[in-house]
Structure 1
Amino acid sequence: MSALELEPLITCPRCGAATQESMPTNACQWFYECPGCREVLQPLAGDCCVFCSDGTVKCPPIQQGTSCCGGGT
């Protein structure tokens, strides 16, 4: 099994600002405030967290092939 990627880029769908962030490994992150335009991002339908929706990699449980926080996939 490969190592988890824990610092993806998260890209704002409104303004396109991309920021490297650290993902929590013990909880889902449902909200994220874009540092560029201050838009508050939320997961898209079917996703469990903002990293699964707007990040370059999915959250740790999804990377490991398990379900995440009782949400989406």
Structure 2
Amino acid sequence: MAIILKSVITCPKCGHKKEEEMPANACEFFYTCENCKQILKPKPGDCCVYCSYGTVPCPPIQKNAGCC
């Protein structure tokens, strides 16, 4: 299965969407919305901002390797 490295993050505060490239071997714990400057953190139970707010989960989760 091919690993997808692009995900669209949606800010829960203002609704701004942006496609980002995910790191292939790491999780991203913080993300700043370029529109409203809100700092996003993972929701409880999620390992990173892509798993919480993205259209595609992070590569380690896609590989069934668990959280980073």
TM-score grouping bracket, smaller chain normalisation: over 0.9
SS across alignment from 2:21: coil
**Consecutive aligned runs of 4 or more in structure 1 exceeding 3 Å deviation:** none
Distance 2:12 2:36 in 1: 10
Deviations 1:14-65 (A, max 9, x none): 0000000010112210000001100000000000000000000100011111
Unaligned runs of 5+ in 2: none
What CA RMSD, in Å, does the superposition of the two structures yield over aligned residues?
Answer: 0.8
Aligned residue in 2 for 1:33: 32
Partners of 2:20 and 2:30 in 1: how far apart? 13
Residue in 1 that maps onto 2:13: 14
Structure having the larger proportion of residues in strand: 2
- More RCO (CA 8 Å, sep 6+): 2
State how 1:1-73 maps to structure 2 within 5 Å.
2-69=1-68
TM-score with structure 1 length normalisation? 0.88
Identical-pair percentage: 54
One-letter amino acid of the counterpart of residue 50, structure 1: V
Q: How many pairs are equivalent?
A: 68
